[in-house]
Amino acid sequence: MPQVRRSPQSVGSITRGTTNPNRLRRVDRWLAGPQAVRLRAAHDPLVVDLGYGAAPVTAVELFERLSRVREDIELIGIEIDPLRVQAALPLSRDRLSFRQGGFELPLAGRRPVFVRAFNVLRQYGEDEYEAHWEQVQGALAPEGLFIDGTCDEIGRRATWVALDPSGPVSFSISMRFGAFALPSDVAERLPKALIHRNIPGERVHGFLAAMDKAWLDAAPLSPFGNRQRWNAMCAALKDAGWPLLDSPSRWRLGEITVGWNAVRPGDSA
């Protein structure tokens, strides 16, 4: 097998690369659910898993999950570490491949409909993520999304920002029921754009505080299960004017998505 060499044009740094099977199931479920319309409408159903890590298992899982939405999708796993690419090559198959690269997305001019980068930008400096956002945004298909997210080691708590070619559009939280005491427990898994903004006066802090209050207010529903309590929390947030972008069909999964302007960095005053 030919050796994969690192290109000097690659943009980015080698990250820790830790991963586990099924770790990214929550964001994959979101892409295959409410975002599936983008994939079905795409002229070129190309998907990129950017920075898939030391093992390509989550890239293979994404390929299999999205293939149920559209059977002719193509998924390319891109990693900046050539040794990780070399290790992934035996798993290549029709419409699933791996190549060396970074945020420049070496796709020979093709424009992906989805780019998923999970637990990648979290390992960069706070002064770096915006430039990488812009670089990937500029490579998207017109209907495309770039998903920048973070989750814990086994995927029980996850958050992500979705960006289209014009900028960030939404922020999502997805958690396993029973894996938190308060919704704000997810704060340690916020994306790089928000993790240092969880302080009084910032919008994301206000949103998490509102979630906590609504969760506590819904405590009388606890005997009926956490799903009913979470649904009531989401409904209360929507009634309070938070710009939720999803419905009870998503809430019941332990998921909530809000418009980006509700949590974007910057003083909320």
Of 17-21, 244-248, 251-255, least confident by mean pLDDT is: 17-21
Residue 169 lies in a domain: yes
Residue 157 lies in a domain: yes
Spell out the residues 6+ positions from residue 43 whose beta carbon is closer than 8 angstroms to its own: 141
d(CA 204, CA 261): 10
Confidence of residue 10 (pLDDT cuts 50, 70, 90): confident
Asked whether residue 23 carries a pLDDT value surpassing 60, the answer given is yes
Both tokens assigned to 212: 């906590």
Closest by CA to 167, choosing from 183, 150, 148, is: 148
Residue 241 lies in a domain: no
- Rg for the chain, CA atoms, rounded: 18
> Which pLDDT score, from 0 to 100, does residue 76 have?
98
Residue 153 lies in a domain: yes
- CATH code where residue 64 lies: 3.40.50.150
Residue 172 lies in a domain: yes
E strand or H helix that includes residue 193: helix 192-195
Give me the chain's average pLDDT, please: 94
Q: pLDDT digit string (tens) for 153-176?
A: 999 999 999 999 999 999 999 999
Residue 234 lies in a domain: no
Residue 13 lies in a domain: no
| Longest CA pairwise span in the chain (Å) | 62
Q: Which domain holds residue 66?
A: 25-191+255-262
Spell out the residues 6+ positions from residue 241 whose beta carbon is closer than 8 angstroms to its own: none
Q: pLDDT digit string (tens) for 183-196?
A: 999 999 999 999 99
Residues 67-73: what's their mean pLDDT?
A: 98
pTM for the model:
0.94
> Which pLDDT score, from 0 to 100, does residue 267 have?
76
Residue 130 lies in a domain: yes
Q: pLDDT digit string (tens) for 230-241?
A: 999 999 999 999
How many domains is the chain built from? 1
> Which pLDDT score, from 0 to 100, does residue 17 have?
64
